[in-house]
Amino acid sequence: MPLGQRSFDNSEARYCGAEVEFSEDIENALTYNLESSFDFIVAPLTNQDFRPSKLKVSPLGSAVPPFAGSDLVLSPAQWSGHVVGKVSSWLDLDSAEDLVRVDSETTLKLELGWAAHLSLQACLLPTPRPLNCGNYARCVNQALQGLAHMQLWLRIPLQSPQMQEAEDTPEEETVFLMRDSITGWPVSDSWEWWNMFRMLCEHHSHLSVALDITASLPPASSIMRWIGEPVRAAILHTSAFLTNKRGYPCLSKRHQNLITMLFNHSVQIVLSGEPLHHLDESDLSPNTESNGNCSEVDAANARHPLKPYLEYIAYLYRRMEPPTEQERFEMSYRDFLQAPLQPLMDNLEAQTYETFEKDSTKYSQYQKAVHAALLDRVSESEASTTIIVLMVVGAGRGPLVRASLKAAEEARRQLRVYAVEKNPNAVVTLHSLIKMEGWEEMVNIVSCDMRQWNAPEQADILVSELLGSFGDNELSPECLDGAQRFLKEDGISIPSSYTSFIGPITASKLHNDVKSYNDLAHFETAYVVKLHNVAKLAAPKPVFTFHHPNFIPGSDNRRYKKLVFELPEDTGSALVHGFAGYFDAVLYNDVHLGIEPSTSTPNMFSWFSIFFPLRNPIYVPVGCKLELHFWRCVGPTKVWYEWAVTAPSVSAVHNTNGRSYWVGL
């Protein structure tokens, strides 16, 4: 039974599982857990005493491994929907003993084959040896090549056992600083174990992570790395729970925040371990009472030893805030690659216009900017005698025209508006709007490319919404440079300036989605993405800034910037799959608009981030700096970006000469 019902939340995080011991009667084991409100079980596929080298062969030459029951004991729907297979934990495929290694290889192949036969959706793999998993990864990678649907969850401790043992002791720093003698990588950082394993498996999309969570947690920035990794499950041990004043299990504030964050990223919780809170049925109350950090939960039915823990997890899930209207709008776009718009080459469709026009926050900011500009442009004493000429370049279906006229009404200033739009389809709607609103005397519609229009008079104010996710990526500089010829020398441009920002991210899903195209071009293309399962490794830095109007003779819109990023030291090492781009714009004076995370405009959805992928992810060791080179190139017919990393390792220059991705002029 799902943990609870939250509006618009249909993620996998609603389902909670239990890790169980091997049982020859898996049908009853599953029934018992389902009746206790668990949604699935993580169950061993074979008896843990099984060793292929000791398997007795019948006189006819056949041998049957001790599987957990026949495939007939459960229906196909039960196997696939309610059972996650658990590969034997004794496996040691990198053992120095040949017999152990061969037995392990044979068992792994046998159990994964059986799991595939049962059509299980996932199988839990045992934790690899720290930075010594070459043969284990090789065998798993072989298995991955033949898997069609099943996911393999690699069990990785969130905090390594070495760090757990050394925590709050004099040895803690020594253990933290331990390095592998060959790779030089931190031995006590469990993320390193995962990173080595997944690189050996070629970043396979069917290989993911199941995090083991105990009482000990690493630093917050270290935990955040995992958000960009393919974490499918979190195995929460009973040892992670505290006891509140009435004897009920609860979690520390840090653990609560962690579980909530995992819920928000569609990670399923699996409860594991022996019950450490022995509650008498007579003491259990059906009421749920919340108090600060530790809240009592309904534990009236405690037949299952892990039921009190399940109820507490369900309580954490149910108390989460429902998604906001903006979050609901964005859900279907999360981590979905979209090609940026080509507004000069292509005419937008009605549906695209409608989506952007719903962004009331954006147009409210524009209205504030126009209002301030009108007041500065014409004094109160001249308001009744002066007509301000305002040109909306790229008027679309008229939202900026409406915002400008509202601003003029509020400011009590007179306007003459020119609405310039190159899309003939949008012009049809624009004419209808002007007629319907009775604006014929104030608004002149011009069906023309702003770069080719010969204006009948000079403008006092030039208003545009040509910004892309990276600020200049939809050619706002080129368009406004062409349009500013009909702006007075002391005229006002809205926006007056904008700056692009960029920062390194871990984004395993995005990397695999780009990789699935199996060509170079897609790794050299920028994508508009609503970033979600992404770890932002360092604060974004400014890249290019453009000012308007720009009357400097011979000015050039080509740009180059070298950026150096430092990851917080307690983050540990990280893998960079690419860079997230943003923008911040000054519309007029102190009125701004943007999506750069530290200054982003609240409740605005017209722009998502832009993603610049790397062909080969860059490993950034702890304490090392990341150096990025970024170019904005301009040719006779197109504008494009090129990018390359030169530290801590060197990448190729991406998108040379705009061979894969460009924006047409």
Q: What is the pLDDT of residues 127-173, one digit of tens each?
A: 999 999 999 999 999 999 999 899 999 999 999 999 999 988 999 88
The answer on pLDDT for 301 being more than 50 is no
Contact 396, 341 (CB under 8 A): no
Rounded Cα distance between 146 and 128, Å, is 21
Average pLDDT over residues 273-299: 55
Rounded Cα distance between 222 and 216, Å, is 13
- Give yes or no: 642 in active site: no
> 3 CB contacts (<8 Å, ≥6 apart)?
13, 14, 15, 16, 313, 314, 317, 318
The answer on pLDDT for 294 being more than 60 is no
Rounded Cα distance between 492 and 484, Å, is 10
Average pLDDT over residues 323-344: 87
Task: Name the catalytic one among 296, 474, 596, 642.
Answer: 474
- In the prediction, which pLDDT does 344 show? 75
The answer on pLDDT for 291 being more than 50 is no
- In the prediction, which pLDDT does 555 show? 84
- In the prediction, which pLDDT does 1 show? 67
Q: How many helices (H) and strands (E) does the chain have?
A: 17, 26
- In the block, tokens 């955040």 appear at 224
The answer on pLDDT for 86 being more than 70 is yes
C-alpha 628 chain-centroid distance:
21
Task: Name the catalytic one among 105, 465, 596, 642.
Answer: 465
CA dihedral angle for residue 197, residue 202, residue 206, residue 211, rounded to 10 degrees:
30
Cβ atoms < 10 Å from Cβ of 644: 17
Q: Which residue has better confidence, 553 or 234? A: 234
- Give yes or no: 465 in active site: yes
Q: Using omega within 30 degrees of 0 as the cis cutoff, is the peptide bond preceding 343 cis? A: no
**Would you state the structure tokens that stand for residue 380, as one six-digit string?**
């109160």
Q: Is 567 helix (H, G, I), strand (E, B) or coil?
A: coil
The answer on pLDDT for 591 being more than 50 is yes
> 111 CB contacts (<8 Å, ≥6 apart)?
45, 46, 85, 87, 88, 123
Taking all residues of the chain, what is their mean pLDDT, rounded to a whole number? Answer: 92
Helix 350-357 to helix 424-437 angle (10° resolution) is 50
Q: Which residue has better confidence, 371 or 345? A: 371
Average pLDDT over residues 280-301: 44
Rounded Cα distance between 488 and 471, Å, is 24
- In the prediction, which pLDDT does 237 show? 97
The answer on pLDDT for 10 being more than 80 is no
Rounded Cα distance between 491 and 462, Å, is 8
Q: Is 349 helix (H, G, I), strand (E, B) or coil?
A: coil
State the pLDDT confidence band at 68, using cuts at 50, 70 and 90: low
Average pLDDT over residues 343-356: 85
User: In the 3-class helix/strand/coil scheme, how is 70-108 assigned residue by residue?
Assistant: CCCCCCHHHHHHHEEEECCCCCCCCCCCHHHHHHHHHHH
Contact 191, 225 (CB under 8 A): yes
Closest CA to 16 of 311, 386, 398: 311
For the stretch 19-67, pLDDT in tens is 999 888 899 999 999 999 999 999 998 888 888 888 766 565 556 677 7
State the pLDDT confidence band at 298, using cuts at 50, 70 and 90: very low
Closest CA to 451 of 438, 437, 439, 466: 466
The answer on pLDDT for 302 being more than 80 is no
Q: Out of 106-115, 196-205, 319-328, 555-564, pick the least confident.
A: 319-328
Judge residue 220's burial from the number of C-beta atoms within 10 Å of its C-beta, 0-12 exposed, 13-18 middle, 19 or more buried: middle
Contact 498, 476 (CB under 8 A): yes
- In the prediction, which pLDDT does 286 show? 37
C-alpha 89 chain-centroid distance:
32
Rounded Cα distance between 318 and 335, Å, is 25
C-alpha 143 chain-centroid distance:
28
Closest CA to 396 of 436, 433, 364: 433
For the stretch 472-483, pLDDT in tens is 999 999 999 989
- DSSP class of 600: P
- Through-space distance between the first and last CA atoms of the chain, rounded to whole angstroms: 55
For the stretch 226-284, pLDDT in tens is 999 999 999 999 999 999 988 899 999 999 999 999 999 999 999 999 999 877 654 54
- In the prediction, which pLDDT does 61 show? 55
- In the prediction, which pLDDT does 288 show? 41
> 72 CB contacts (<8 Å, ≥6 apart)?
none
Rounded Cα distance between 116 and 233, Å, is 19
Contact 3, 38 (CB under 8 A): no
The answer on pLDDT for 115 being more than 50 is yes
- In the block, tokens 């409740």 appear at 603
